[in-house]
Amino acid sequence: MTAEPRARVPRRPVHGVLLLDKPAGMSAQAAVSKVKWLLGAEKAGHTGTLDPLASGLLPVCLGAATKFAQVQLDADKVYEATLRLGVRTRTGDAEGEVVATAAVDPALLTPAQLHVVAQRFTGTIEQVPPLHSALKKDGKPLYAYARAGLEVERAPRAVTIHALTLTAVPDDPTALHLHVRCSKGTYVRTLAEDIGQALGCGAHLAALRRLATGPLQLAQAVAIEALEALPPPERLRLLRPPEVLLHGWPEVVLDEAEAGRFLTGLRRRGRWPDAAHVAVFGARPRALLGTARCVGGELIPIRLLAPTEIAQWLTQSTAS
């Protein structure tokens, strides 16, 4: 028996950010596609991939919000993870073939010893990207070389571990709980392997959950099952305005005449302090117009919303 085809949903302009609690076992792209279908949206993307093995926060950008997704792609992330000690795998996670095993010395898992190891990996460190990753070399993702059985040289990359805690798991002598706040580009899988090596027994990443990206928190997110259970109008009420992606940026507010000129791409003059990036709003009604930088009292556009996008968002937010 074949499954019934998915019902066709009419596409429409939908704008905003949905904070999704992605389940383990689903790719980030599949999760985005599911959200896009449930909302009937024309355009959707995310602010940074999350491996199928991982669960947790996946901000899904819809419509106009996709223009600012890069901001959160560059933001710090917070994860919690479970490491399996004494077992190394080919991929560094639970899905890979076991390549080595070793005994785990309980004396190395005391709070004092784990604090010492955590301090070793706090601050700016260098990581060698895993071969089973989407990072590209000579135009091909590294996992393509791995699948072909090829080993390729990967240059170490500097990342920043802002905070790291390691905690033994009661009643499970080969498990270790990890909580980390890190810069973009950090591979928690590699961090798990390096910690296992530092403990002398090896390790792999058994489970991973993203708790935050920039100011966006998992506690604010919705599960796919919960989203699917809602009537379509109530799904739209979960969307946050595109400016949540610009949280903490200085704001510039323009009157109607100046806003109109700014939206055509014209630079504006004003008494604004220099800033590498600002969020620009129209005053009445208050609405995000785009992003800019301020240099010498000049407001220089970077990314602009189209007037139609602004009008659609105002209508959508009023209706929901």
Which residues are within 8 A (CB) of 6 and not within 5 positions of it... i.e. 6 or more apart? Answer: 37
Answer whether 235's CB lies under 8 Å from 227's CB.
yes
Q: What is the 8-class DSSP label of residue 47?
A: S
Which residues, in sequence order, are CB contacts of 173 under 8 Å at separation 6+?
104, 106, 109
Looking at the DSSP assignment, which residues form a beta bridge with residue 207?
82
Active-site entry in 21, 51, 93, 194: 51
Strand partners, 179: 80, 165
Per-residue burial over 254-285, b = 16 or more CB atoms within 10 Å of its CB, e = otherwise: beeebbeebbeeeebeeebeeeeebbbbbeee
Compute how many other C-beta atoms are within 10 angstroms of the C-beta atom of residue 108: 16
Q: Token digits for 252?
A: 């510039």
176 beta partners: 83, 168
User: Are 23 and 35 a contacting pair, CB within 8 Å?
Assistant: no
**How crowded is the C-beta side of 221, counted as CA atoms within 13 Å?**
25
- 76 in active site: no
Question: Residue 305: what are its φ and ψ, rounded to 5°?
Answer: -85, 150
Instruction: Give me the DSSP letters along 221-251.
Output: -EEHHHHHHS-HHHHHTTPBPGGGGGTT--E
Residue type, 89: T
Residues with catalytic roles: 51
